[in-house]
Amino acid sequence: MARIKCGMALFALLLWSGQAAAASATQALDNFFAGLHSLQTDFEQRIVRDGQVLQETRGRLHIHRPGKFRWSYEAPFEQLIVTDGETLWVYEPDLEQVTRSRLDATVGNTPAVLLSTLEPLGNLFSILDAGPKDGLDWVMLEPLGEQTTFSRVFLGFEAGDLAAMEIVDSLEHSVRIRFHELERNLALDPGLFRFTPPPGVDVIGED
């Protein structure tokens, strides 16, 4: 009988631990976005297909909510993705080319909208606890709408801070991003989110 009681106690402990882990991951998600106005962070990004790393890049990310962000890729190839909340610019210096489009306020336009939108994430995603992995607590977000370029997004938290993001498309290709030295609610220069095409570059897309 004592052995059965110990087994029941162990089962209850494991059940409680699982529930606590789930609560901590989803609570970290809520806590991170609560009161978030701006952030800046360095990042490392990997594009992975069938377990093989196809490309590794690094750069810096700035976000000002609502709707403004700046992804600046520094190596091995420069690229800038920036929006003032209305126009989305993608600048590739090596190609001397800029692509311009209207920023779709829905999450389908770019996953960066996920971090910059003020829309409650529960209105855009089905949110599920994805469990611990690689020392992080993960939350999985599956878009509720159909007009998306990806099938799901994972956000990884460490001690309450956003530490990683993984974006998976319908073909199971993934973009894995690790954030470093993330800082919240800084007074960012508004000029970070404005873009003027340099002279001589080709501008493609909408006026």
- For 152-176, write each residue's pLDDT tens digit: 899 999 988 999 999 988 777 899 9
Tokens of 64: 């000002």
Residue 13 has pLDDT above 80, yes or no: no
Going from the C-alpha of 123 to that of each of 23, 144, 201, the distances in angstroms are 19, 8, 39
Domain ranges in the chain? 2-205
Q: What pLDDT does residue 156 have?
A: 96
- For 96-139, write each residue's pLDDT tens digit: 999 998 876 544 546 677 899 888 888 888 999 999 999 999 99
Of 82, 69, 78, which Cα lies nearest the Cα of 117? 69
Place of tokens 């052995």: 3
- For 50-84, write each residue's pLDDT tens digit: 888 988 999 999 999 999 999 999 978 899 999 99
Q: What pLDDT does residue 199 have?
A: 94
pTM for this structure? Answer: 0.82
Place of tokens 């520094």: 74
User: Domain spanning 2-205 has what CATH number?
Assistant: 2.50.20.10
Going from the C-alpha of 111 to that of each of 22, 56, 84, 150, the distances in angstroms are 23, 18, 16, 8
Of 175, 173, 176, which Cα lies nearest the Cα of 50? 173
- For 171-192, write each residue's pLDDT tens digit: 778 999 999 999 999 999 999 9
Q: What pLDDT does residue 109 have?
A: 47
The DSSP letter of residue 207 is -
